[in-house]
Structure 1
Amino acid sequence: MAHRACDALDPELLQHIRECPCPCDHMGYGNFLDYQVPPCPRIASPSLSRETTFGVPPHPHYSRPPQYIRNVPPELYYPYDYDSCSCSSGSDTARRVSFRGPWCVCLVVCVVVATLTAGLGLPLALGPHRNENASSEERLQLVRKLLKDSPLIDGHNDLPWNLRKFVHNQLNQLNLSKIKEEDPWLTSKWSHTDMPKLLAGGVGAQFWSAYVPCKSQHRDAVQITLEQIDAVQRLVQREKKYMQMVRSSEEIRTVHREGKIASLIGVEGGHALGSSLAVLRTFYNLGARYLTITHSCDIPWATGQDTVTNEGLSDFGKIVVREMNRLGMIVDLSHSSVYTARSAINVSSAPVIFSHSAAYSLCNSSRNVPDDVLKLVAQNGGLVMVNFYAYHVACSVNATISDVIRHINHIRKVAGVEHVGIGAGYDGINVTPSGLEDVSKYPHLLAELLSDPDWSEKDILSLAGLNFLRVFEKVEEIRDRWKKAEIAPFEELGPKNELEECVSKSS
């Protein structure tokens, strides 16, 4: 919707606001989010050159590539085919004539067919049409049927860190089907995951977190991360009857069709890299498919906490994001400062995710995502996967399933149903909402959403996992495009820590 004062603005000021990356109010005239225009679908406005804006609405993500991004052609930096837009930018008469050609008739026919398909075909494809008066048990059974055909993908589970805390990663005697029958798993408030509950929860794919604490920064963070990756791989191998490691979106679909839980690795905390792009590449080669840029604490190339300095990614941090784009590794912004999140969204050519966060406007935790960033995520094509931690969804211990639904609905309202997912954070939280006590409860959440007429079966499947698959596939598409263009690995050296500086000076 255009800003109400749009028509009165000086054209140069209007163009400036549309292209300006800052969220400032521009003397009361608003910012770029206030000047969204209907999609062309690629060119935002005839008055703006395609060199400065390819998306709709104008957004700093689509500005010229920064100078430090070398060897990346503009057509690769921008993941959109701007030449495919054939909307006329000429006179009104020319535009009226352009809608009388044969292609327009074809377009109308396609729209009609698509509408009929959406109205008639989807209920058939998604199973029996939902009864608006169905009981909670009937909705629950419908959800279970839907999840057999389409995977539920959770963005974050901290079981690997509990394996380290409770059994020191000694897994030879571990039985994931029975751990909840014995201490410390039985009595721990941090334990929500075992095999029976995963199966009951209809989990189709799970990101297992290779988490390293901030205190390990500049010490043994890289080693701990490697040990956690090893623990995930060995756990999945031990449970090969039920789980299988995967590294691609297609493998998720294949393993889900085989009736197993597709298991992926997410590295939580950019300090795990030791400021080394070689370590980043090694993690990717070992199977890690997302990196959480920061884990609350600041690191040498990104801020994890909002400070008065308003700093986000350093130049090297931006290179890390670009190397992740090249590898096909998803950029995760949970735990990052708002400034780091905005910077990463602006730099990344691929969609980003928040793997386990909620809505800041409903609960002002620093983990949660403000509305302006939710809008940036939507423009970026990314995803916010909603966390279940009681303090993040209700700002207190007294959270319920309804609080989680409020956050899901808010993100849907601000960013769109295509940009919300699930990242519960089980085994990394000690207070869960009533009704979502452990990993068996996902179907109950989806069944409750189905009681809302605004949520169709298609929407439920998008939330459950299809949105994430879309993001993952886009990340892989950009990786493949860069590989075809023979974009070389980035080789910039990261910032030195204090110990390295001392050794360098002494030598």
Structure 2
Amino acid sequence: MRKADFHCDVLWKLLEDPTLSFIDDDRNKLDVTLPRLKQAGATFQTFAVYVPERMDKTMVPILQSIDLFYRKVLVSPEVTFIRTAGDITALQLKPGVIGAMLSLEGADGLQGDPAMLRMLYVLGVRAIGLTWNNANWAADGVLETRGGGLTKKGRAFVEECNRLGILLDMSHLSDRAFWDMMQASSRPVIASHSNSRSHCQHPRNLTDDQIKALLAAGGLIGVTFVPQFVSSRVPAGIADVLRHVERICEFGGEQQLMFGSDFDGIDHYVDGLSHPGELHRLQDALLARYSEEQVKSFFEKNAMGFLAMHLPR
């Protein structure tokens, strides 16, 4: 069964240690590698550009990360760059090839300059989350205590993303910024790696009202494998992940659910789900509760169909 994953942090680890290899099976230091994606039957992977707090919030580390994507990920003939709806269509005709898309997690380094956004578009960035957990020029992140929403520059940024065809990612936004984004965006949005807050009381998860609103607007929700977003129990297990799947489906999200693992962005794992090569365990658990067609939708069809509809032509 083919699989799509809407969020991993391989580029962050490559930025921290450029000697690491995505192409080779660097099992001890990377969760996501090309061999493990092939083992999982992956057809699509989003690679997030994340700049850690200790680094300068400028374009430099963002561009360095994108350079690593070009030099360390796209170098393999088994990986193809996804930038347009046509690329998604073409990918379906290339068995064994994995589509790779660039996203940006935190727009701090753009410093509110729309020219920087347009340059990232030219380089292939197709999804952006305005914040990580803290506040910046565009919005408040989910852990910013004041709980502010979008700024004036943030709203203008949303409009430019809509114009360009860059997907807007709600994960990491404060609750107020979430609702501001729902109002400001004229296009469907995604939450690339967030779960249900009613099943796990973590601020990074979505409330029931947020889930309903995002689904009603035609967006996508990526169930994530971050243990503290999955369950307050230790260790979290695959059965706990399924509870979040079930909650989203309860609200009619069966055709709008995907997965955003956050592999390589975590150092603790859901029991039995520590890298793409173990996704078969989640698959088996899903097949025990859902039809094969439903599970195929969760793993790949929903995400790919969304991209085919909403990426630039």
Partner of 2:15: 164
What does 1:467-478 correspond to in 2, within 5 Å? 467-476=302-311
Task: Judge conservation of contact 1:208–1:266 (CA < 8 Å) in 2.
Answer: yes
Partner of 2:45: 206
Partner of 1:257: 93
Partner of 1:77: none
Residue 411 (structure 1) shift: 1.4
Q: State yes or no: 1:332 paired with 2:166.
A: no
Q: Which amino acid aligns with 2:5?
A: D
Number of aligned residue pairs? 312
Partners of 1:401 and 1:346 lie apart in 2 by 35
| Cα shift readout 1:64-101 (whole Å, capped 9, x = no counterpart) | xxxxxxxxxxxxxxxxxxxxxxxxxxxxxxxxxxxxxx
Q: State yes or no: 1:176 paired with 2:23.
A: yes
The runs of 4+ residues in structure 1 deviating greater than 4 Å are 306-310
Unpaired segments ≥5 residues, structure 2: none
* Aligned match for 1:386, one of 209, 220, 223: 223
Residue 386 (structure 1) shift: 0.8
Partner of 2:296: 461
Distance change (3 Å), C-alpha of 1:396 and 1:239? farther
Structure with greater Cα Rg: 1
Partners of 1:156 and 1:177 lie apart in 2 by 20
* Aligned match for 1:236, one of 52, 59, 73: 73
Q: Which amino acid aligns with 1:213?
A: P
What SS does the aligned partner of 1:417 have?
coil
Residue 253 (structure 1) shift: 3.6
Residue 214 (structure 1) shift: 3.7
Identify, as 1 or 2, the structure richer in helix: 1
Residue 308 (structure 1) shift: 6.8
Distance change (3 Å), C-alpha of 1:317 and 1:330? same
Partner of 1:33: none
Q: Which has the higher mean CA deviation after the structures are superposed, 293-302 or 392-401?
A: 392-401
* Aligned match for 1:319, one of 156, 175, 178: 156
Partners of 2:43 and 2:99 lie apart in 1 by 6
Q: State yes or no: 1:360 paired with 2:197.
A: yes
Task: Judge conservation of contact 1:334–1:354 (CA < 8 Å) in 2.
Answer: yes
What SS does the aligned partner of 1:367 have?
coil
Partners of 1:367 and 1:360 lie apart in 2 by 8
Partners of 2:57 and 2:294 lie apart in 1 by 43
* Aligned match for 1:300, one of 134, 137, 140: 137
Partner of 2:257: 420
Q: State yes or no: 1:193 paired with 2:29.
A: no
Task: Judge conservation of contact 1:206–1:264 (CA < 8 Å) in 2.
Answer: yes
What SS does the aligned partner of 1:238 have?
coil
Distance change (3 Å), C-alpha of 1:201 and 1:301? same
Task: Judge conservation of contact 1:256–1:262 (CA < 8 Å) in 2.
Answer: no
* Aligned match for 1:439, one of 276, 284, 287: 276
Q: Which amino acid aligns with 1:250?
A: G
Residue 370 (structure 1) shift: 0.8
* Aligned match for 1:248, one of 78, 84, 88: 84
Partners of 1:165 and 1:403 lie apart in 2 by 32
Distance change (3 Å), C-alpha of 1:155 and 1:235? same
Unpaired segments ≥5 residues, structure 1: 1-143, 181-185, 481-507
What SS does the aligned partner of 1:323 have?
helix
Task: Judge conservation of contact 1:384–1:421 (CA < 8 Å) in 2.
Answer: yes
Partners of 2:41 and 2:58 lie apart in 1 by 33
Partners of 1:161 and 1:309 lie apart in 2 by 28
Partner of 1:154: 5
Distance change (3 Å), C-alpha of 1:214 and 1:474? farther
Q: Which has the higher mean CA deviation after the structures are superposed, 428-437 or 307-316?
A: 307-316
Distance change (3 Å), C-alpha of 1:311 and 1:204? same
Q: Which amino acid aligns with 1:155?
A: F
Residue 244 (structure 1) shift: 1.5
| Cα shift readout 1:232-254 (whole Å, capped 9, x = no counterpart) | 111123322x2121212331342
Partner of 1:61: none
Distance change (3 Å), C-alpha of 1:198 and 1:274? same
Residue 396 (structure 1) shift: 4.2
Partners of 1:307 and 1:273 lie apart in 2 by 20
Task: Judge conservation of contact 1:155–1:206 (CA < 8 Å) in 2.
Answer: yes
Partners of 1:439 and 1:449 lie apart in 2 by 16
Q: Which amino acid aligns with 1:206?
A: Q
Partner of 1:504: none
What SS does the aligned partner of 2:14 have?
helix
Distance change (3 Å), C-alpha of 1:286 and 1:308? closer
Q: Which amino acid aligns with 1:473?
A: A
Q: Which amino acid aligns with 1:457?
A: E
Partners of 2:54 and 2:173 lie apart in 1 by 17
Partners of 2:126 and 2:265 lie apart in 1 by 19
Partner of 2:184: 347
Q: Which amino acid aligns with 1:327?
A: L
| Cα shift readout 1:336-387 (whole Å, capped 9, x = no counterpart) | 1111111111111111111111111111112111111001101110011011
Task: Judge conservation of contact 1:249–1:469 (CA < 8 Å) in 2.
Answer: no
What does 1:13-28 correspond to in 2, within 5 Å? none
Partner of 1:449: 286
Partner of 1:23: none
Partners of 1:344 and 1:462 lie apart in 2 by 26
Partners of 2:280 and 2:246 lie apart in 1 by 17
Work out which structure has the larger RCO, using CA pairs closer than 8 Å and 6 or more positions apart in sequence: 2
Partners of 1:388 and 1:306 lie apart in 2 by 19
Q: Which has the higher mean CA deviation after the structures are superposed, 244-253 or 342-351?
A: 244-253
Q: Which amino acid aligns with 1:227?
A: Q
